[in-house]
Amino acid sequence: MQSQVEQIVQQVTYWAVSQESILAAALVGSQARGTATAKSDIDLMFLARQPLHFRMSTDWLSKINWGDLYIESWEDKVYGVVWSRHVQLNASNPHRITVELSFGRLSWASITPLDTGTQQVVRDGCRILYDAEGHLSRLVRFVLSQYG
């Protein structure tokens, strides 16, 4: 199962890097901490120039190479300044995988002031996957130095 998770993370990262609007991507939560179980979802956070572009469209989901998995369903949720698309992936086996793709503006990663929700996400586990301009690196360094 872990290799399947890594394959999904890798393919989503490839997709994110190819998107001009996406400035950074991170794996967050239990998968980033290394404490995930077989039932854990895959949480990904994206910093985007236009996060609502991804919310208003579903076409981009088909641009991600999901391998032998297919999209069964999805649901959008809003968490303050971040919105998430919870995607249910399925295969021919009985295992279902949930991938939470969260999008926020660059301001989500601001350290002046640091949003408490952002701080919690980083403290709960954050593995940077793509960060061409260093926004996530700066955020993670700050959070870890201030809050451990």
CA 106 vs. chain centroid, Å, equals 14
Q: Where are the domains of the chain?
A: 2-147
The most distant pair of C-alpha atoms in the chain lies apart, rounded to whole Å, by 47
Strand ranges (DSSP E) for the chain?
22-28, 42-48, 70-79, 82-90, 96-104, 126-131
Domain 2-147 belongs in CATH node 3.30.460.10: yes
Terminal-residue alpha carbon distance, the chain: 30
The two tokens of residue 111 are: 């350290």
Give the global pTM: 0.94
Per-residue pLDDT of the chain (148 residues; tens, 9 = 90+): 568 999 999 999 999 999 999 999 999 999 999 999 988 999 999 999 999 999 999 999 999 999 989 999 999 999 989 999 999 999 766 678 999 999 999 999 999 999 999 999 999 999 999 999 999 999 999 999 998 7
Say if CB 43 and CB 126 are below 8 A apart.
Answer: no
